[in-house]
Chains A and B, each alone.
Chain A
């Protein structure tokens, strides 16, 4: 059964720092991997989606990489801002028809001004 782990569970950084969030998954036979942002008490905002055949995706200050063979993904946030403070969730979809996204527990990021 697929399991997704995110490290660290929480992270505090001063504004302007570059940072990396880590995600690992136990079964490398994935269809895709997705990073989400969740603000307290709110729903999910999709940030980046990486197909299994891709190595990375970029959107603005965000860059996500995927190493499927080692079961790892990283989310790189450049020049962090207080508005980046949120919980970041990594989710994978297994390479089987009809399967749902399986989520990690998330990394809670706090960026101080």
Chain B
């Protein structure tokens, strides 16, 4: 149980385009979802926390206008990287949690901006 599906697993796109990543909790209702970013050989850095139906809370240094997060339902959150540039290339991982239960993680999305 407690499966989190993240899609796509890998995306390559041109600089200036926008990319949307989906995160779904398949067998539970996620009251809170989290988005992390991981650069090569670095740890996971929390980008933002979102509760269903509310605006996301962004960590310091994360541009909310660049990384748009939508958590419109209890099973789906999306991260849109707007006007992506090569420095946005990274591994993005979502995580979902129901209430006070442990966080469950998606398999990540490798984003490469050319």
Do A41 and B102 form a contact, CB below 8 Å, given A103-B44, A105-B43?
A: no
CA distance A79 to B24 in the complex (A): 37
Query: What 1/0 mask marks residues of chain A from 40 to 79 whose CB sits below 8 Å from any chain B CB?
Result: 0111101001000000000000000000000000000000
CA distance A32 to B106 in the complex (A): 20
Chain A contact surface mostly: strand
CA distance A104 to B45 in the complex (A): 9
Q: Are B106 and A104 in contact (CB under 8 A)?
A: no
Interchain nearest-CB distance for B3 vs A (Å):
12
Q: Are B108 and A42 in contact (CB under 8 A)?
A: yes
Task: For A34, list chain B residues within 8 Å (CB).
Answer: 102
Q: Are A43 and B107 in contact (CB under 8 A)?
A: yes
Number of interface residues of B (CB under 8 A): 22
Q: Are B108 and A89 in contact (CB under 8 A)?
A: no
CA distance A100 to B105 in the complex (A): 12
Number of interface residues of A (CB under 8 A): 19
Number of A-B contacts (CB under 8 A): 44
Task: For B42, list chain A residues within 8 Å (CB).
Answer: 105
CA distance A7 to B32 in the complex (A): 31
Q: Are B106 and A43 in contact (CB under 8 A)?
A: yes
Do A43 and B32 form a contact, CB below 8 Å, given A89-B43, A98-B51, A102-B46?
A: no
- Most chain A beta carbons < 10 A, residue from B44, B91, B106, B108: B44
Do A103 and B95 form a contact, CB below 8 Å, given A42-B107, A43-B106, A98-B51?
A: no
Q: Are B95 and A101 in contact (CB under 8 A)?
A: yes
Q: Which one of B43, B49, B106 contacts A106 once the chains associate, using CB atoms below 8 Å?
A: B43
A residues near B (Cβ < 8 Å) are 32, 34, 41-44, 46, 49, 89, 91, 93, 98, 100-106
Q: Give the 3 A-B CB pairs with smallest separation, nearest first.
A: A43-B107, A105-B43, A103-B43
